[in-house]
Amino acid sequence: MIDLAPLAWVALGLAAVTIGISKTALPGGSILAIALFATVLPARTSTAAMLLLLIVGDVFALITYRRHAHWPTLLRLAPAVIAGLVAGFAFLALAGDGIVRRAIGVILLAMIAVTLWRRWRQNRADAVAPAPGGLVLSGVYGTLGGFTTMVANAGGPVMSMYFLATRTPVQVFLGTSAWFFAIINLVKIPFLAGLGLFEGHVLLMDAVLAPLVVIGALAGIRLAKRMNQVLFDRIVIVLTIAGALYLLF
């Protein structure tokens, strides 16, 4: 087991609960867990430890929202995401922790700016239909989503910005996200294992924290049923901005 102070364990416990909630109610909320893990643990160790806990949360997300996924969106994103995963693996293997963190922060802030700009343009045009999410949009967000999820498990905010940009309804948002990250997180395992990041003390720590992910996921299911679209969008954007600023500074 990793030797940590009691306060550090409290932070990791809070992060584990947040992971569960983010999987079933607030996809962008995982950025808080990323920040907490990165504060307590070395960056590479935090990436590996979080991945296994995210997979626990994926199980509950699929159980709850599996029927709401929009598969054409997933297929449209797939080629770009694969390219982003490969680029992220290379970056993770070569770059230092500080460079990785700041690069992700810049990317997230850029995605928020683009999303808000697109919404402003649609509102000016009195658009009422959802944005189509064309190949260029899916290519940019898909590549960045694959890259950020590989290097820091931070793909959630990027993909949240994509779903918000295309005005995806809450249930479809959660269902499509559930399948997207369940598949991607499983794909990431051999990459991180190849870097030797799944050490015994990491696995033991995750075994202690996993029940808290379950508690958070169950709480998130109840929370999602009471949340309207406008509030949902605003919370995701605020959490993403907060996470991006944390990574930068």
Residues 19-49: tens digit of each pLDDT: 998 888 877 677 778 878 877 888 778 888 9
**pLDDT class for 54, splitting at 50, 70, 90?**
very high
pLDDT at 124: 64
**Average pLDDT along the chain:** 82
pLDDT at 229: 58
pLDDT at 208: 94
**pLDDT class for 186, splitting at 50, 70, 90?**
very high
Percent of the chain with pLDDT over 90: 25
Percent of the chain with pLDDT over 70: 84
Residues 90-140: tens digit of each pLDDT: 988 887 767 877 777 777 677 677 667 766 766 665 544 444 456 788 898
Q: 23 or 242: whose pLDDT is higher?
A: 23
pLDDT at 45: 85
Checking if the pLDDT of 150 tops 90, the result is no
DSSP for the chain, written as a single string: -----HHHHHHHHHHHHHHHHHHHT-GGGHHHHHHHHHHHS-HHHHHHHHHHHHHHHHHHHHHHHGGG--HHHHHHHHHHHHHHHHHHHHHHHHS-HHHHHHHHHHHHHHHHHHHHHHHHHHHHTT--SPP---HHHHHHHHHHHHHHHHHHS-HHHHHHHHHHHTT--HHHHHHHHHHHHHHHHHHHHHHHHHTT---HHHHHHHHHHHHHHHHHHHHHHHHHTT--HHHHHHHHHHHHHHHHHHHH-
pLDDT at 168: 79
Q: 111 or 147: whose pLDDT is higher?
A: 147
> Which residues, including other chains, have CB under 8 Å from residue 94's CB and lie 6 or more apart?
none
In our burial notation (b when 16+ CB lie closer than 10 A, e otherwise), range 71-87 reads eebbebbbebbeebbeb
Take residue 29 and report the two structure tokens written for it: 């909320």
pLDDT at 209: 96
pLDDT at 179: 92
Question: Residues 148-158: what's their mean pLDDT?
Answer: 79
Predicted TM-score (pTM) of the model is: 0.77
Select the highest-mean-pLDDT range: 27-41, 61-75, 151-165.
Answer: 61-75
pLDDT at 211: 97
